[in-house]
A and B are shown apart, each in its own frame.
Chain A
Amino acid sequence: DTGVSQDPRHKITKRGQNVTFRCDPISEHNRLYWYRQTLGQGPEFLTYFQNEAQLEKSRLLSDRFSAERPKGSFSTLEIQRTEQGDSAMYLCASSQWGDRGFYEQYFGPGTRLTVT
């Protein structure tokens, strides 16, 4: 396993279209996170899963954003009716989790979305 992968790496779409991004975490990791990063800013937390359960989704930016992790492995992030303000880098990260304390989040390369 070579790390977290994301697909596609770049997506250009027209305003109003729906887009879906995929994240494949490191295989033994049970937690998966989604972040958004705009130019010149740090990542902004969106949501996270432990196995297939979505434990926090109140930070999703609007009801146009949704995420799934149906079998506790890969995850998808969907944006419906895209707007120009959705243009950003979407990052996925994964980690183990348990009672040991700190577990490092490993990041994928990101999907860059451009809405025209």
Chain B
Amino acid sequence: GDSVTQMEGPVTLSEEAFLTINCTYTATGYPSLFWYVQYPGEGLQLLLKATKADDKGSNKGFEATYRKETTSFHLEKGSVQVSDSAVYFCALSEDSNYQLIWGAGTKLIIKP
């Protein structure tokens, strides 16, 4: 079945460092791909999405590009801030509004 694998955390970086959180997937068809973020004490929020190959999703300085050839959707940010500290989840959906299949999450800690 479909699955999502993302790098284990926690990932600890200094403020202004470059961030990459790896995400790879297996799917039978052509899924849509998502990054969700969960800030401490808050619910899950959609960060960005891409619905077809080579699409780039972006939001709040974060970017991820849908790479069909490597089945990847890595999350990047050029300069992280302390406020980016959160748990980041990669997810896919074979149906655009049906069930989401999730990675295990990656905890990001940014130190000032």
Same complex for A and B? Answer: yes
Question: Which residues of chain A have a CB within 8 Å of any CB of chain B?
Answer: 3-4, 31, 33, 35, 40-45, 48, 56, 59, 91, 93, 95, 97, 101-105, 107-110
Chain A interface helix/strand/loop/mixed: loop
Q: Residue on B with the closest CB to A104?
A: B46
Q: Residue on A with the closest CB to B102?
A: A42
A56: chain B residues within 8 A (beta carbon): 98-99
Q: How far is the CB of B49 from chain A (nearest CB, A)?
A: 7
| Interface membership of chain B positions 33-48, coded 1 if the CB is closer than 8 angstroms to chain A and 0 otherwise | 0000000001111100
Whether A43 lies near B51 (C-beta < 8 A) is no
Chain B interface helix/strand/loop/mixed: loop
Q: Given A56-B99, A101-B51, A102-B51, do A42 and B104 touch, yes or no (CB 8 Å)?
A: yes
A50 to B104, CA, bound (A): 27
Please report the total number of B residues contacting A with Cβ < 8 Å.
Answer: 21
B99: chain A residues within 8 A (beta carbon): 33, 45, 48, 56, 59
> Which stretch in B11-19, B62-70, B72-80, B89-97 binds the other chain?
B89-97
Whether A48 lies near B98 (C-beta < 8 A) is yes
Residue among B42, B46, B89 making CB contact with A105, cutoff 8 Å: B46
18 CB contacts below 8 A, A to B, read A3-B43, A40-B105, A41-B104, A41-B105, A42-B102, A42-B105, A44-B102, A45-B101, A91-B44, A93-B44, A102-B96, A102-B97, A104-B46, A104-B49, A105-B46, A105-B100, A107-B43, A110-B43
B103: chain A residues within 8 A (beta carbon): 42
